[in-house]
Amino acid sequence: MAAMLNFWRHQRARTLRWDGECWFVGAPVEAVEMGGEGAQVLLRLDAQRWMLLWFQPASGARGCWLWAQARNDPARWHLLRCALYSPLTSASAGSTPAAETERA
């Protein structure tokens, strides 16, 4: 438990951004972002007012854990939850959605 706490304290602040098609992650003070087409954000734990997320860039680069809290941006919290829970469209997934595949 102490190792987890130490790891968590040394994480830098990051900003998660959804542009309607792709996810991006970057540090608030840096202009460089990871993500883009094919990047994924996986919801690992949802406690309504906070979420634990895993961001995986499409490039195969190392992913990162993200801790999201409603209090950090209350006006956009619902929008984030909608983006995370909405199914991917064919444009954002880069492939045909499962609902459009032929059924036997």
Residue 41 β-bridge partners: 55
Residue 47's Cα: distance from chain center in Å? 16
pTM comes to 0.71
Collect all residues with Cβ–Cβ distance below 8 Å to 56 and sequence separation of at least 6: 39, 40, 41, 42, 63
| Residue 14 confidence class, pLDDT cut points 50, 70, 90 | confident
In this structure, is the dihedral angle defined by the CA atoms of residues 16, 45, 62 and 7, taken in order, positive or negative?
positive
- Cα distance between residue 5 and residue 96, in whole Å: 41
Percent of the chain residues topping a pLDDT of 70: 78
Q: Mean per-residue pLDDT for 24-37?
A: 80
How confident is the model at residue 39, as a pLDDT?
92
